[in-house]
A and B are shown apart, each in its own frame.
Chain A
Amino acid sequence: MSEKIGIYVCECGPNISSKVDIEKIMQELAELEDFQDKELIIKNHKLLCSVEGKKFLENEINENNLTHLVCAACSPRDHDTTFVNVCKKTKLNPYMYQIVNIREHCAWIIPDKDEATSKAIRIIHSGMDRVLYQQPLEEKQLDSNPDVLIIGGGIAGMEAALTLASKDRAVYLIEKSEKLGGKSAILKELLPRQGVTMNILRQKISDVQSNRYIKVFTNAELDSIVGFLGNFEIVIKGLKDTNNTTELLAGAVIVATGFDLTDVSSLDSYNIKKEDEVYNAIEIEKMLSESGKITMRNGSQPEKVALIHCVGRSEVGYCSKTCCDYLLKIAKLIKDQSATIEVTELYKHMCLPNKHDEVFYELVQEKGVELIKIKNANVTGTTIDFTDISDAKKKLDVDMIIVGTAMIPASGTAELGVELKIDQHETGFFQEAHLKINPVSTNTDGVFVVGGAHGPAGISESMLQAQAAAGKIFTQLIPGQKIIPEVKVSEILEAYCTGCQTCLEVCGFGAIYFDEDKGISVVNEAICRGCGNCVGSCPSGSIRTRHFTNPQIYQEVKEALR
């Protein structure tokens, strides 16, 4: 079939027509020397994006049997999709169309009409050159599995499981330890607010265990995973019996592996050593939930207790944001145990980011807890030498020290990140797809991160993140709905690939794997997003991205740079 190129110049009412010479554009395009052997149909229209304009374009494509289409109009941000949708209604493959922006790039920015017209002709010419080198591309449709694997049975993992199960999604929940509940299960009270008790957590554990859509694997961890959104093949292994492996299929993965607390003895902060009467918050919570009160190692009740905030903050480089709140809670629990215990909190910055925190902070002060803002401190045994905010040097002798240590990524986070092909933030926690606007997704489609694995998070926040991941899965992975992967993906020309594997290193999506038998790199088209990183990095020039091939780009810039 010979080429038949349709070029449609939109006037955008007066927006384009009053600033460029439409007649001249059409005339000069018709006379282009390098297009004399091609059949051109060049027309203008008052407003191509209008209902009538779209119908006009549709008829033109069909009646003229166009093989290529160029729309000279506005920014692709405004109407590229509009014209792609018109193509989809016709015989023309949408990848045989090109938009050229003569409004923002010419009419609206160049005061001189001749100059604007001449630039418009040139960039339309570029578009015509390019479109001739474009090739029809077809969307693929893949079946998908709506089931979900959740890694980690703490509050976030359980909340995700219950939310998914509420909409009849099958969930596999794997947990490293013997039982569900994670760190929250150790706590004395779930949150320092009235009405929030451990009953909620116990209820959740029993709901997860009895839910017919949730299959729980305790003492188990991920062994391997391959695949992509909609189709992951998973192997889990038992931790007690490593030969005991189970193969699972799922469409999405939620990582809820939680956090650890920094080990005080590994820190320089305040010179705190793990002495006899120095405890971290988890140890205190255990004590409180087992015996209902705090006692020293000799079994007696302390008369003076100091709580030190922000331990390890300067080493890890971030605020753990929950510690101020939970140390206030512990202070209150100690005062509830006995009002005669002197409780002092030493903090650098009081961080109370949730709306109910401040009222609680005021309540704790009313209970007689002394709060001292410090610049620095040095701990020897249970004696604290500190410099307060007014630069005064003071000494505090206590019977017991409780430290609020920084939250850090759970052990095994790095290995899990490699297996799941998800990035870690410089803090070691997993990195979100976009910090601001895509906060529970990751760089790998279909893998989500929630709770402490995502960064320091309290219980409420972890639960919300878990629900958010479920919301993403409900709307991205719909039972019975096909997955349509990106069309404009990279392809590797087997004959030229030298097997150097440079592309594997630059791919941010884990879309390229190495075929050992053939000794070449191969793109998994279901995962590739067509970013082009691999194209630029390939020393042998054997990779190209569909719809952005070198000849296509060369043709487009050739005329622009002439």
Chain B
Amino acid sequence: MDLSDNVLIIGSGVAGMEASLMLSKAGKKVTLVEKLSLIGGKTIKNEETYPNMDCSTCLVAPIQQEILQDGNINVLTSSVVEAITGDAGNFKVTISKKAGYVDLVACLGCGMCYPVCPVELINEWEENLTNKKAIYVPCAGALPNVPVINAEKCLQLNGTEICNKCVEACMFGAINMGEKDEQIDLNVGAILVATGYDMLDVSSITDLGYGKYQGVYTAMEFERLFAANGPTEGKLVMRDGEKIPSSIAIIHCVGRSQTHYCSNVCCMASSKHAHFLHHKLPDAKIYNIYSDVCLPDKTYQKFHEDVKAHSSKFIYQADRDKMKINEENEQLKVEYLDNNNKDAFIQVDMVILANALKSAEGSDDLKNVLGIDHDKFGFVEAQPFRIGSVATSKSGIFVAGCAEGPKDIQNSIIQSEAAVAQIMSFLNG
């Protein structure tokens, strides 16, 4: 068996980045594949991380920079793994990389190309809360700080008209409309799946009014609303761009009855959101509606108690499936079953739904490509015996972070470091 010293890492969130840097330090050649045009994963969507309120960018940006400057790490953004053949120790991997039409070396990220683009698109990375151009970086501070062009929407590339305005605006000749999608073939000895998570779509839980009422937000939408580099530059205004909420209800465990697992991070994230709100809007009334509170770290309860004492009123609801949210008198009426199983309600301007984490979009396809087992929830199942393991059902393929199940940043990193140990040991023969 040809034991190659090359490792493929799929997903560039905190788990994928940590493993990349560690393996590089040990002299391995790493190919880091990321489906988006920027690296950093979901962590960079957060303004601050609980419980110490560390600025996320300050935590992650140095890691991102190190990755991009590391000679042992080949970062392939806008890329997905298409096919894998071969066996542990010698996988042949086919990756398809979408053309970004901007040269990574020549572009300095000066941003002169976006204002001239005539096309307005919804910015999905910003949870649809703002627009972007057909040539864009998803957010300020994105790394690599190099825009990409949406070929389907770009007037030049989709053949609507001769536009080329961005090409003319670029002083470095960095934009190349002739760039083609690429297919990249690699040989690697081991693979790490670190594809993270996505949030459960809550519009299907119709009682909660998400998508119907303007005042109902998901937790991730709220994160972007709070972020200094987000759509409102951190100003807490509602969708109309004017109204500042004076009462907010944060609902825990949204979608838990559908997923049949606790998403691990939402109680702390919801406590953090109450803390954010209280500090930005000291006069606002804040409620957290919960059934059980899950605080799985030695540092968490203290923060939670502090939020409970100073920032938010915690209200117990007896049955999370009985909640109803409706608009009434220009406010949102949140109806729930109280501790006596009786109907109760509060009226608020804004609702934040702490929705469940689920396996990342596209993980079913990846599962088929890699030929690894998933659990009944759609997460990668670690083998054997489901305990203390980062190995998957297929030899040579490992898993770390939320690809394996919902978890916080530190536990994602712990799994990633554990996967590095297993990969190092595995490649040793």
Contact = CB atoms under 8 A, between A and B. Distances in A.
Interface of A: 12-15, 47, 50-51, 77-78, 81-82, 155, 159, 163, 166-168, 190-191, 193, 195-196, 200, 313, 317-319, 321, 349-359, 362, 373, 389-391, 425, 427, 429, 432, 434-440, 455-456, 459-472, 474-476, 478
B26 A474 contact: yes
B402 to A, nearest CB: 10
A155 B23 CA distance: 26
Interface stretch (B89-97, B160-168, B326-334, B420-428): B420-428
Contacts of A476: 25
B410 A439 contact: yes
Given A167-B428, A351-B296, A390-B341, A472 B388 contact: no
B390 interface: yes
Given A349-B293, A373-B292, 20 more contacts: A13-B172, A155-B388, A163-B421, A163-B422, A167-B428, A349-B295, A389-B316, A389-B318, A435-B297, A436-B52, A437-B60, A455-B298, A461-B414, A465-B414, A465-B418, A468-B414, A470-B418, A472-B417, A475-B23, A475-B420
Contacts of A47: 108
B244 interface: no
Contacts of B389: 463
A435 B299 contact: yes
Contact of A350 (B25, B292, B425): B292
Contacts of A390: 339-341
Nearest to B290: A349
A357 B295 CA distance: 15
B414 A439 contact: yes
Nearest to A450: B414
Contacts of A427: 298-299
A186 B171 CA distance: 70
A376 to B, nearest CB: 14
Interface stretch (B77-85, B150-158, B222-230, B258-266): B258-266
A319 B339 contact: no
A467 B418 contact: yes
B264 to A, nearest CB: 5
B387 A463 contact: yes
Contacts of B302: 317-318
B108 A471 contact: no
Contacts of B49: 436
A217 B138 CA distance: 56
B414 A77 contact: no
A480 to B, nearest CB: 11
Contacts of A425: 298-299
A12 B339 CA distance: 63
B30 to A, nearest CB: 12
B54 interface: yes
B110 A353 contact: no
A193 B386 contact: yes
B41 interface: no
A336 B214 CA distance: 51
Closest 5 CB pairs of A and B: A463-B388, A471-B421, A468-B417, A467-B418, A471-B420
Contacts of A313: 301
A437 B63 contact: yes
Contacts of B341: 390
A319 B60 CA distance: 28
A391 B316 CA distance: 12
Given A463-B388, A472-B417, A436 B54 contact: yes
A276 B314 CA distance: 38
B425 A12 contact: no
Interface in B46-82: 49, 51-52, 54, 59-63, 65, 69
Contacts of B323: none
Interface string B85-120: 000000000000000000001001010100000000
Nearest to B304: A319
A435 B51 CA distance: 9
B297 A81 contact: no
Nearest to B25: A475
Contact of A437 (B295, B413, B419, B422): B413
A468 B388 contact: no
Contact of B65 (A77, A163, A391): A77
Contacts of B296: 319, 321, 351, 353
Contacts of A389: 316, 318, 339
A162 to B, nearest CB: 10
Contacts of B379: 355
Contacts of B260: 358-359, 362
A440 B26 CA distance: 18
A198 to B, nearest CB: 12
Nearest to B145: A78
B59 A391 contact: no
A78 B68 CA distance: 11
B14 interface: yes
A518 to B, nearest CB: 38
15 contacts: A81-B69, A196-B385, A313-B301, A317-B302, A318-B298, A351-B293, A351-B295, A354-B264, A356-B386, A358-B262, A390-B341, A436-B54, A463-B389, A471-B422, A471-B424
B59 A436 contact: yes
A508 B294 CA distance: 33
A462 B298 CA distance: 14
Interface string B360-376: 00000000000000010
Contacts of B22: 471-472, 475
B387 A460 contact: yes
B425 A357 contact: no
B388 A467 contact: yes
Nearest to B377: A355
A389 B293 CA distance: 14
B421 A355 contact: no
A470 B299 CA distance: 24
Interface string B23-53: 1011100000000000000000000010110
Contacts of A321: 295-297
B300 interface: yes
A78 B293 CA distance: 42
A152 B221 CA distance: 45
Contacts of B318: 389
B171 A14 contact: yes
Contacts of A475: 22-23, 25-26, 420, 424
Nearest to A199: B385
Nearest to A17: B171
B115 to A, nearest CB: 14
Nearest to B302: A317
Contact of B300 (A200, A319, A350): A319
Contacts of A195: 385-386
B420 A474 contact: yes
B385 A200 contact: yes
B206 interface: no
Interface string B373-416: 00101010000011111100000000000000110111101111
Contacts of B405: 354-355
